[in-house]
Structure 1
Amino acid sequence: MAASPSHRRQAPFLIGLVLILAALPVGWFVFLREPPAPLPPSEPPRRVVTDAEAKKAVELVLSSFEGTVDVKHGEAGTWEPARKDMALRPTDVVRTGRGSWAVLLNGESVELRMEAETEISVEEISNELSKVMLSSGLATATVRGRPNVRHTFVLKAKNGDAEASTSQGTFTMSNNGKGTVSVGTREGDVKLTGKEGKYVIVRAGQRSIVRPGKEPSAPEPIPSTMFVRMEWPTGPQRNREVTVVGHTDPGSRVTMDGASVPTDENGQFTLNLSLKDGANLVKVAAVGVGGARQDEQHELTLVPPPPPSRKRPGTIEVDAGGIWDPP
């Protein structure tokens, strides 16, 4: 018996529907299923980095110098002449002589210039921190900030409580050798710490003074001029040894004829002069942490006493007493 026309028309539809339903799983598998995550690459075993390696020490290099500059490796070492590009490490000491200077570099981060008759000792050097002690004299530090690199430079004063630090800027520190410190900032901001951790921020164009056992003074503008007041003796001098007292700004550097002169916490100093016969020209200079300078000079004339008289043989000395005086 032949199929009815309606059944013949439904057959293609049913076959197509079956084919579509059969293709759905295949399409999902091919087009919609997420591929499996790739296996992570095998990693080499991680090495534990110690604190010492994280703060790997770098060298502070004696970049350039002029005059007499000496270096001592460790407190027990002996002084030896400096050499260009000489590497410095913690406990090393550097000193400059009269009329000399030196520049130290820590890579591209720190530049430290030492003036004449200045002594520093290296305490800590790393990629993140440079710490140097200023025993006496005058030194200027320039700290350069770099992208993604933060380096802190600390300049500490010996025999006192003062400590200056910055991550970017330029400042000058003076130390009279007894803990009286003056800090002047040229660029950036400097944290100056004194007794019991009390500190001030010394900004560009300012200075602050730390005396032994005291906190830093309030920052004030750096004086554009210096003053030196001397108490010169008057008239011809009869003694070869002469003492002269002077006064300047506290924390300033004083020299006499190029040689450093110690000052106290108030800026007072004493010159012990040894005069020669005739005219003696004495030159005194004071330099502040801002770079201002004042020169003073004075001439002292030594008139030696006459030599003792010699008696002629056979002469008799007579004391007239006052017999020629009127009654």
Structure 2
Amino acid sequence: MAAPPSRKRQVPFLVGLVLILAALPVGWFVFLRETPAPLPPAPPPRAVVTPATAKKAVELVLSQFDGNVEVRHGEGAWEPARKDMPLRPTDVVRTGRGAWAVVLNGESVELRMESDTEISVEQLSDELSKVLLSSGLATATVRGRPNVRHTFILKAKNGDAEASTSQGTFTMTNNGKGTVSVGTREGDVKLTGKEGKFVIVRAGQRSIVRPGQAPTEPAPIPSTVFLKMEWPAGKTQRKPEVAVTGRTDPGSRVMVDGVSVPTEEDGSFTLNVPLNAGPNTVKVSAVGVGGARQDAQRELVLDTTPPIKVDPGAMWKASGAPPP
């Protein structure tokens, strides 16, 4: 038997109703749901903070020495030197008779001090080292390194002379009164004198600066050193001290019996030398900035026997003859 017409009409209606109910969630999700807010951007990665590393202070180091070498920190007392002793601005180093010392600034600078020499540290940084030569003789070697420029300055105390280089080897003498000689072995050295006037002292050349004057024109370093002595008259001496006088090239260094003798601007010098009873050998040497050396010596005899006093009257009386 066939279904009634009303039931046939209900079937499509029910199917449509089911489809509409099924489509409602999809429509809500597509058309009615609010769009979620965009996520905030990710924060940048936090930098890792590490404690700042303290920068090591630039310092000279007393690398090697022999003999009596002393160091003074600022205005403190003199104390014996120690190997690898650090030196900073205001520190002073001095070498005694027959002693020597070498100070280093890393791989950049080597400064060798000869006997009876005194220096003080003026300024130190990665780019600059400045040392004051109070008296004596010192040789500086400055080494250039890739991408590193270091300037070394050696200034004379009590004068106007100042030598500087970024690569080279030179020797400076200071008589303690500001008369300075500079000789260059390698590289070029700028030597400044009074009122900033300067010359370039090239390898194998020497220049002299006197107090209040400009540097002399560079000239070849002499192969010999001039030394002329004026010895005391006579070999036998009655006084326990004699004056040793002479003259050398200006800027040359003079040693008498191992003791440094200050010279004048013209190279003249005088030193009172004590004598022991009997024979004494007095040795004098003059050394130039190029290393040339001249020696002289003299044997002096100190006679300490008391002089014989002669009484003519007693002699006549002893002989029994009347005096004349």
TM-score range, shorter chain: 0.7 to 0.9
Amino acid at match of 1:258: G
Give how far 1:309 is off: 5.8
- Deviation, 1:302, is 3.2
Asked if the contact 1:57/1:127 (under 8 Å) is kept, the reply is no
Q: How does 1:101-250 map to 2 (within 5 A)?
A: 101-240=100-239, 241-250=241-250
Which stretches in structure 2 are left out of the alignment for 5+ residues? 1-43, 49-53
**Residue in structure 1 matched with residue 63 of structure 2 by the alignment:** 63
User: Higher mean Cα deviation, 177-186 or 257-266?
Assistant: 257-266
Match in the other structure for 2:21: none
Q: Are positions 1:283 and 2:289 aligned together?
A: no
Matched residues in 1 for 2:216 and 2:110: separation? 26
| TM-fit CA distance, 1:242 | 2.1
Indicate if the aligned counterparts of 1:171 and 1:184 stay in contact, CA closer than 8 A: yes
Report the alpha carbon displacement of residue 57 of structure 1 after superposing the two structures with TM.
3.9
| Contact 1:99/1:258 (8 A) holds in 2 | yes
Paired with 2:318 and 2:147, the residues of 1 have a C-alpha distance of 97
Q: Which residue is 1:77 aligned to?
A: 76
TM-score where L is the length of structure 2: 0.78
Q: 2:300 — aligned with what?
A: 300
Offset at 1:317? 11
Find the aligned partners of 2:106 and 2:84 in 1 and give their Cα distance.
12
Rounded Cα–Cα distance in structure 2 between residues aligned with 1:109 and 1:271: 39
Alignment partners' CA distance in 2, 1:320 and 1:193: 82
Aligned twin of 1:267: 267
- Paired residue type of 1:251: G
Q: Decide whether the 8 Å contact of 1:114 with 1:139 is kept in 2.
A: yes
In the TM superposition, residue 226 of structure 1 has moved relative to its aligned partner by 1.1
CA distance in 1 between counterparts of 2:281 and 2:262 reads 20
Larger radius of gyration: 2
Q: Secondary structure at the match of 2:245?
A: strand
Identity among equivalent pairs (%): 73
User: Deviations 1:65-111 (Å, cap 9, x if unpaired)?
Assistant: 1111100000x111001111111100000001111111001010000
Deviates more, 1:123-132 or 1:299-308: 299-308
The question of whether the paired residues in 1 share the 8 Å contact of 2:237 and 2:300 is answered with: no
Q: Distance in 2 between matches of 1:111 and 1:319?
A: 83
Distance (Å, rounded) in 2 between the aligned partners of 1:255 and 1:268: 13
Contact 1:236-1:303 at 8 Å conserved across structures = no
Aligned pairs for 1:304-319 within 5 A: 304=304, 306-308=307-309
Q: What CA deviation, in whole Å up to 9, does each residue of 1:107-139 have, x standing for no partner?
A: 100000000010000011110000000000000
Letter in 2 for 1:277: A
The 8 Å contact of residues 182 and 208 in structure 2, kept in 1 or not, is answered as: yes
Question: Which residue type is aligned with residue 290 of structure 2?
Answer: G
The amino acid across from 1:306 in the alignment is: P
SS in 2 for 1:243: strand
**CA shift for structure 1 position 59:** 1.2
For residues 156 and 46 of structure 2, the distance between their equivalents in structure 1, rounded to whole angstroms, comes to: 49
RMSD over aligned CA atoms reads 2.8
Separation in 1 of the partners of 2:321 and 2:255?
A: 53
Query: For residues 316 and 253 of structure 1, do their structure 2 counterparts lie closer, same or farther at Cα, with a shift above 3 Å needed?
Result: same
Question: Amino acid of the residue matched to residue 248 of structure 1?
Answer: T
Mapped contact 1:69–1:95 kept (Cα < 8 A): yes
**Partners in 2 of 1:84 and 1:199 — Cα distance?**
37
The alpha-carbon distance between structure 1 residues 114 and 319, as it changes in their structure 2 partners (threshold 3 A), is farther
For 2:46 and 2:322, the matched residues in 1 are separated by: 117
Distance 1:148 1:301, change over 3 A: same
Please tell me whether the aligned partners of residues 59 and 89 of structure 1 are also in contact (alpha carbons under 8 angstroms). Answer: yes
CA shift at 1:290, angstroms?
0.4
Q: Which runs of 5+ in 1 are unaligned?
A: 1-40, 46-52
Task: Report the counterpart of residue 33 of structure 1 in structure 2.
Answer: none
- Separation of aligned partners in 2, 1:257 and 1:157: 25
Q: 1:307 to 1:63 in 2, by over 3 A?
A: same
Mapped to 2, the partners of 1:270 and 1:243 lie a distance apart of 7
Check 1:237–1:59 CA distance in 2 against 1; reply closer, same or farther (3 A cut): same
* Number of the residue aligned with 2:16: none
Residue 195 of structure 2 aligns to a residue whose secondary structure is: helix
